[in-house]
Structure formats: structure tokens, C-alpha cells
Structure 1
Amino acid sequence: MSQAQSIYERIGGRDGVEAVVSDFYDRVFDDPLLEPYFEDTDREALYAHQVQFISTVAGGPVSYDGADMQQAHEGMGISDEAFDRVATYLAEALRENDVTEDDVDAIIDQVADLQPDVVEQ
């Protein structure tokens, strides 16, 4: 009996996740609302952490070893609008890379659960 494929496997494994993350950051870094959040950020490290994060939430054989979400975003003043825009760009990047709508929804639902830890009121 074979096991059902994980979202990670359906995306295309590491190569698929890297394509999604690349498309995601193309959108994020071009957005004037989001640009200030990334001015002093090591983009290579950010990219690597995002690959780990997406791989983890998609059920891949990767463990996220970055700071917890609250600690990683503390003091950044992230608004609900900025969080929502990032989530929208992630969903668009997933769809652009032929991820099914069910899998997009599953990933975005997990991301949405993190909103209270990321957004500063």
C-alpha cells in the first residue's frame, strides 16, 4: 500500500519550493509597502529560511531552524495589511508554480495561523 504524497512532494520537492520562494520574493521585494521591512535584511539568509519554512509547512523532510515567528518579527512593526499582502504574494507564487488550489489553501491556512505572532498591534 502506497502512502499519499505530501504537499512538498506534489510541489516538486526542493526544486519546486525554491521556484515558489523565488517567485514569492520577486513580488515582495517589488512592493513599496513591503520594501522597508527588508532594507537591512540578508536576503540570502531570508531566502534559505523561507525555503525551510515552506518545506516544513508543506510536509517535507526539512526542519525549520529559524527563530520562532514572534521572535523573528519582533520590533518590525508589521501591520495586518503587510501580513495580508505577503500571504497574497505567497498564494500567487504557489499558483504560478502549478500548486493545486487545495494545497495553496492548506499552506495559506498554516501561514494565517501565524498572524498573531508576526503582526504588532
Structure 2
Amino acid sequence: MTSLFDKIGPERLRAVIVDFYDRVFADVMIGFHFAGKDQARLIEKEYELAARMLGASIPYTGKTMREAHARHAILGGQFDRRRKILEDVLEAHAIDPEVRAAWIDHTNAMRAQITADKGSECDHDAAALRTHVAGDSTAPLPLRKR
């Protein structure tokens, strides 16, 4: 059976992660979190984590997500920005949709371990229902299909 790691391959996975960290380190919204950090080490740990998550038999040798991020006050919006950069990089590298979905789902699942403002997840449908105004009256928006 072909794993998601087999679909992306080790070279493409590394290229995605290098591009991702180049963008994250340079990003005006979240780059400051990475100032003074060892980019090569972060790339290696991210490679191990992503490869393992995608089904490779590569061990992850880093800290838990909670331990690695405990000293940083990472807010929900900053987490969302990191995820958006990842989505953009995966698209730019034309990564298989199944691999993309698994990677983003895994990222989302780690949110509570990484962010300092627990419960910061956006519920766009609920927010739209609370705030949508049509003309002078409030009218609920139809829920989006997911």
C-alpha cells in the first residue's frame, strides 16, 4: 500500500519544508517568532514530523508540540497565518490533494498544543449568523458546505 509519504517523496517533502520555512522566517506577521532560531534545525525537525505523519518510518526526535512552543505566546491568528503559509506552499508545489488535506488536518489538530489563547478557533458560520445584516433587518446566512 502506498503511503502519503510515498506520494510526495522525500525530496519534494524537503523542498516544501525549506520553502515553507523561508517564507515563515521572512513573514511580517509571524517572522519575529523565528528571529535568532536555527532554521536548519527547524527544517530537520519539521521534516521528521511531517514524514512521520505522512507514513514514513522516520522517527521524530524533537520535543512535543506543547514543550516546543510553551515559551512563546502564539496567538490563534498567528497560528492561522502559519497554516495559510503552509497551504500556499503546498499549492505552489502542486502537492497531491490527499497529502495536502492530511497535512492541514494534522496541523489543525495540533492547535491547542501550540497556541496560548485556547479556544481561539474561528467558527465562520456561527460568526456569520451573528453578524450578517441584510438591509435594515438581520437575516441569517445559509451555512457553507464543508
Q: TM-score, normalised by structure 1?
A: 0.90
Give the number of the structure whose residues are more often helix, by fraction. Answer: 1
Residue 87 of structure 1 aligns with which residue?
Answer: 83
Shift of 1:26: 2.1
Runs of 5+ consecutive residues of structure 2 not aligned to the other structure: 118-146
Residue 98 of structure 1 aligns with which residue?
Answer: 94
Alignment of 1:31-110 (within 5 A): 31-110=27-106
Task: Identify the structure with bigger relative contact order (alpha carbons < 8 Å, sequence gap 6+).
Answer: 1
Residue 11 of structure 1 aligns with which residue?
Answer: 8
Query: Following TM superposition, where does structure 1 have runs of at least 4 consecutive aligned residues deviating by more than 3 angstroms?
Result: none
Runs of 5+ consecutive residues of structure 1 not aligned to the other structure: none
Number of residue-to-residue matches in the alignment = 117
**Matched residue SS, 2:48:** helix
Shift of 1:96: 1.9
CA distances 1:22-59 after superposition (whole Å, capped 9, x unpaired): 11112212211111101121111111101111111111
Which structure has the larger Rg? 2
Q: C-alpha distance in 1, partners of 2:21/2:36?
A: 15
Return the letter of the residue paired with 1:71: E
Q: C-alpha distance in 2, partners of 1:39/1:27?
A: 13
* Amino-acid identity (%): 26
CA distances 1:49-97 after superposition (whole Å, capped 9, x unpaired): 0111111111112111100000000020001111111111112212222
Q: Relative to structure 2, which stretch is displaced further, 25-34 or 66-75?
A: 25-34
Shift of 1:103: 1.8
Q: C-alpha distance in 2, partners of 1:107/1:34?
A: 20
Return the letter of the residue paired with 2:12: G
